[in-house]
Amino acid sequence: MHIQTYDQLSEQVALKLIATVNEKPNACLALPTGKTPLGTYQTLTRHFRQDPALDWSKTRCFALDEYLEIKESDSFQTFLLEHLYQKSNIAIENTFSPAQVVNYDEVIEQMGGLDLTLLGIGRNGHIAFNEPETCPVSFTHCTWLEKSTLDANRSDFTGKQPDKAITVGIETIMRSRRIILIASGSSKRDIVKQAFSGEVTSRIPASFLQRHPNLQVLTDFGFSLDTTNSWQQSSSL
Ligand code: PGA
């Protein structure tokens, strides 16, 4: 289906997540926060309400990142609790945050590795909080946030906005068996084009995903990429 709207994008992604868990109930999912996945989580919530057979009780959910020195109410863990975990039958003991788990990568590996990583993209090309110039062989680490990231997220805070975070690394993401990156709205058009139609460069961390053999990029502005289908690309950029 050709995606034209944010609702269609959200529905498509929610269905892919549901299919992943139907196939493997104890799948390990890495999940983003932010404005882009909100529609996906709302769509999932609707599916959970409408389909009592939907069972994610064994599914393991790993937050991609978390702010450091954050008020709990402003944290990504609270975001995921409010928008997904509490709206589903995901077991809280199966949810993980890099701010609460020592050796996040080791824990992910012990649980069999990530089956699916869902990503947004920052206007500077970051994935999770891997800001430009992050080493591509990075694992979970702490990082300072760039000004463009702080500017984009300023309105999310009731208290002081943190400028430090902990994030899975680029290598953590690349080790995921499957990756879906979603982007919505014209403000993401240029960076998506640079990341997936240009050179692979640490200036644009998302560009490293071009090297992943099972990547889908889905947007509501006419760009899509699927490296599983030999690089089929349709673009109106
Ligand atoms: P957004 O953030 O979904 O709020 O645009 C994406 C990101 O920074 O990864």
Q: pTM for the full model?
A: 0.95
Quick check: is 126 catalytic? yes
Nearest alpha carbon to residue 65 among 137, 139, 136:
139
Centroid of chain to Cα 36: 9
Phi and psi torsions of 217, nearest 5°: -110, 125
Place of tokens 């409408």: 50
pLDDT of residue 235 exceeding 60, the answer is no
Q: How confident is the model at residue 232 (pLDDT cuts 50, 70, 90)?
A: very low
User: What is the reported pLDDT for 229?
Assistant: 58
> For residues 131 and 143, is the Cβ–Cβ distance under 8 A?
yes
Per the structure block, which two tokens stand in for 20? 């992943």
- Cβ contacts of residue 11 below 8 Å, gap of 6+? 43
Angle, vertex CA 13, rays to CA 170 and CA 51, nearest 5:
130
Q: What's the start-to-end Cα distance of the chain, in Å?
A: 18
- Give the lowest-confidence range in 99-113, 120-134, 216-230: 216-230
Q: Which tens digit of pLDDT belongs to each residue from 142-191? A: 999 999 999 999 999 888 899 999 999 999 999 999 999 999 999 999 99
Catalytic residue among 94, 105, 126, 220: 126
User: What is the reported pLDDT for 1?
Assistant: 73
Instruction: Calculate mean pLDDT across residues 117-129.
Output: 98
**Percentage of the chain exceeding pLDDT 70:** 96
Q: Tell me how far apart the alpha carbons of residues 116 and 132 are, in angstroms, rounded to a whole number.
A: 23
Quick check: is 103 catalytic? no
The reply to whether ligand 1 has any atom less than 6 angstroms from the CB of 120 is yes
Task: Name the average pLDDT for the chain.
Answer: 95
120 alpha carbon to ligand 1 midpoint, in Å?
5
Quick check: is 69 catalytic? no
Q: Name the DSSP letter for residue 101.
A: -
